[in-house]
Amino acid sequence: MKPVTLQTLRDLKQRGERFSCLTCYDASFAAAMERAEVEVILIGDSLGMVVQGHGSTLPVTNQDMAYHTAAVARANKTALIMADLPFMSYATLPDALANAAELVRAGAHLVKLEGGAWLAETVTQLARGGIPACVHMGLTPQSVNVFGGYRVQGRSEQAAEQLLADARAVADAGAALLLLECVPTSLARRVHEEISIPVIGIGAGLDCDGQVLVLHDMLGVHSGKTARFVKNFLQAGDGSIEGAFRQFVAEVKDGRYPAPEHAFE
């Protein structure tokens, strides 16, 4: 596989072809994902739960993220590496610029932030500094205490229109990607149709350009509650971890995953 860039993802969107994304936190899994031709590797702040054993992503620091990003980057030559800016690391513009720069120096090609239209200036300034951004919308885990739990977002007409407006605002500000988590399929479809940049989904139905899952979830080894959108690809594949990655890539590309039972209406 040739090295994947943002232009690669834009070209895939233009051709109507889907791409795969998995979270990863270390060199060994990164190497296996590269062999399986996973296009995008996300160093997610989900590491707080699946690696560190916390009850949420909130305790994760930027230093944690830089450490794991560097570990993944050392084993990767082809996948596009995206790294999460963790909780409160981008509350101010100077913080966002400094912490994003730390992750890029560690090996990330772009950073991911959770929020809406209020991120527009930050997205623009990051892009001016040479750091592309993916904006994560819908269920944003860093706001779990605001939401009162992990709940599907955008179900009311007002909430859906607000999410669409936010998506337009950050795209206009220069966001490179959008990520939609736990939103109704119909809303994800509208965002995909109205926004020109690639859209990655998780619990957002089939009408997205890419799909992402947490590594431990798709291997069936996470001890927490299994979300509706999760599928065990270790069972669906040949029984090997690399086979699970290849199965995920294949099912995303041919539209078998996510199936209707993995989505919300």
pLDDT tens-place string over residues 26-35: 999 999 999 9
Q: What is the pLDDT of residue 146?
A: 74
Which pTM does this prediction carry? 0.96
pLDDT one-digit tens code per residue, 189-229: 999 999 999 999 999 999 999 999 999 999 999 777 889 99
Half-sphere exposure of 60 (CA within 13 A, CB side): 30
Q: Is the CB of residue 160 less than 8 Å from the CB of residue 116?
A: no
Higher pLDDT, 265 or 68: 68
Is 102 a residue of the active site?
Answer: no
Residues in the chain: 265
Whether the pLDDT of residue 19 is over 90: the answer is yes
Residue given tokens 């794991």 in the structure block: 68
Provide φ and ψ at 112, rounded to 5°: -120, 135
Mean pLDDT of the chain: 96
**In the 8-state DSSP scheme, what is residue 41?**
E
Active-site annotation holder among 34, 39, 102, 181: 181
Neighbours of 227 (CB within 10 A): 17
Q: Write the pLDDT tens digit of every residue in 53-81.
A: 999 999 999 999 999 999 999 999 999 99
Q: What is the pLDDT of residues 80-105, one digit of tens each?
A: 999 999 999 999 999 999 999 999 99
3-state secondary structure (DSSP) of residue 116: coil
**Cα–Cα dist 105/59, whole Å:** 22
The H-or-E segment that residue 50 falls in is helix 47-50
- pLDDT reported for residue 36: 98
- Cα 76 from Cα 37, distance rounded (Å): 11
Q: Are 261 and 204 in contact (CB under 8 A)?
A: no
- Report which residue type is found at 12: L
pLDDT confidence bin for 1, thresholds 50/70/90: confident
Ranges assigned E (strand) in the chain: 19-23, 40-43, 80-84, 110-114, 133-138, 177-181, 199-202, 210-213
> Is the model's pLDDT at 42 over the cut of 80?
yes
Question: How far is the C-alpha of 103 from the C-alpha of 67, rounded, in Å?
Answer: 9
CA distances from 258 to 144, 201, 209, 264 (A): 24, 9, 12, 11
Share of the chain above pLDDT 70, in %: 98
Mean pLDDT to the nearest integer, 12-27: 98
- Residues 139-162: tens digit of each pLDDT: 998 887 776 666 889 999 999 999
Determine the Cα–Cα distance for residues 232 and 226; give it in Å rounded to an integer: 10
pLDDT average, residue stretch 121-140? 97
User: In the chain, what percentage of residues exceed pLDDT 90?
Assistant: 92
Q: Which residue has the tokens 């605002």?
A: 169
* pLDDT score recorded for residue 147: 65
Give the phi and the psi of residue 160 in degrees, each rounded to 5.
-65, -45
